[in-house]
């Protein structure tokens, strides 16, 4: 079975997000990192939309801020230096139930402290909060990795979250997933109601 390289994984995650995003929409980048995913979402929602971007590392928030300034996208992005597990309380209540896309790119920031990686417990809390914030037909796109400490457990719990969404009747896609091979994969959940 063919596997995806990391660049292709990111491109596929972007394609899945772009398929449901329109100018004027609200989107969330749950793991801002160097800001590339935030900038991608910000371009798609345009100046009439809004992106909320989260990261627990000050360095990541600063990198994202710099990238947005260079790209002229700062006005449509709110940066939150806090855990994505707190995303619901960080968003203004008028955005609850109106979010079109929540994008997760799990793991650690390349070229940075590998110990500051996403963790199973907070990732699942954030996925549940993201689901609550979605509008009908809104989508969660989550890139899961297995290489960082706790990565296999995180990947397994993301898969359990996918099963809960299937049981609720949502549309669930698992790209590149394999139950035993440790490799990056993408979960896309499209909320049905
Ligand atoms: C793979 S990187 C994200 C890459 C990024 N989306 C980009 O375009 O450059 C993962 C990021 O998740 C962040 N992170 C880890 N735990 C987090 C949490 N609980 N809440 C928010 N961000 C977290 C890390 O600090 C790191 O910057």
pLDDT in tens, 32-42: 999 999 999 99
Once rounded to an integer, what is the mean pLDDT over residues 19-36? 98
Q: Give residue-wise pLDDT tens across range 83-96.
A: 999 999 999 999 99
User: Which pLDDT band, with edges at 50, 70 and 90, does 6 fall under?
Assistant: low
Residue 2 pLDDT > 60: no
In angstroms, what is the span from residue 156 Cα to ligand 1's centroid? 19
Strand-pair partners of 105: 143
Atom of ligand 1 minimally distant from the CA of 34: 9
Kindly write down the DSSP assignment for every residue of 132-171, as one continuous string: HHEEEEEEEEEEE-SSSTTHHHHHHHHHHHHHHHHHHT-E
Output 150 or 88, whichever has higher pLDDT.
Answer: 88
Instruction: Beginning with the edge strand found earlier in the chain, give each strand of the sheet holding 50-54 in spatial order.
Output: 77-80, 50-54, 26-29, 99-105, 134-144, 185-190, 171-175
The per-residue pLDDT for 1 is 45
* 10 Cβ closer than 6 Å to some ligand 1 atom: no
Kindly write down the DSSP assignment for every residue of 90-135, as one continuous string: HS-GGGTT-EEEEEEE-SB-TTS-TTSB--HHHHHHHHHHHHHHEE
Burial 79-104 (b: 16+ CB within 10 A, else e): bbeebbbebbebbeeebeeebbbbbb
Q: Give residue-wise pLDDT tens across range 65-111.
A: 999 999 999 999 999 999 999 999 999 999 999 999 999 999 998 88
* 54 Cβ closer than 6 Å to some ligand 1 atom: yes
Give the closest residue (by CA) to ligand 1 atom 20. 83
Three-class SS state of 67: helix
Domains defined for the chain, CATH in brackets: 6-190 (3.40.50.150)
User: Which pLDDT band, with edges at 50, 70 and 90, does 148 fall under?
Assistant: confident
Cα 30 from Cα 23, distance rounded (Å)? 20
pTM equals 0.96
Residue 181 pLDDT > 80: no
Once rounded to an integer, what is the mean pLDDT over residues 142-165? 94
């Amino acid at each position: 079975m063919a596997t995806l390289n990391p660049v292709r994984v990111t491109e596929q995650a972007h394609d899945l997000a772009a398929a449901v995003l329109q100018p004027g929409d609200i989107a969330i980048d749950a793991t801002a990192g160097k800001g590339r995913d935030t900038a991608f979402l910000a371009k798609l929602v345009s100046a009439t939309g809004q992106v909320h971007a989260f990261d627990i590392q000050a360095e990541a928030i600063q990198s994202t801020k710099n990238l947005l300034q260079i790209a002229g996208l700062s006005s449509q992005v709110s940066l939150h230096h806090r855990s994505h597990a707190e995303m619901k309380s960080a968003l203004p209540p008028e955005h609850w139930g109106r979010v079109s896309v929540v994008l997760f790119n799990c793991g650690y920031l390349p070229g940075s402290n590998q110990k500051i990686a996403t963790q199973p417990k907070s990732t699942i809390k954030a996925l549940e909060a993201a689901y609550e914030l979605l509008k009908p037909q809104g989508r969660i796109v989550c890139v899961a990795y297995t290489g960082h400490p706790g990565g296999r457990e995180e990947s397994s719990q993301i898969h359990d979250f996918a099963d809960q969404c299937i049981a609720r009747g949502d549309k669930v896609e698992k790209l590149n997933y394999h139950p035993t091979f440790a490799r990056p994969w993408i979960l896309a959940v499209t909320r049905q109601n």
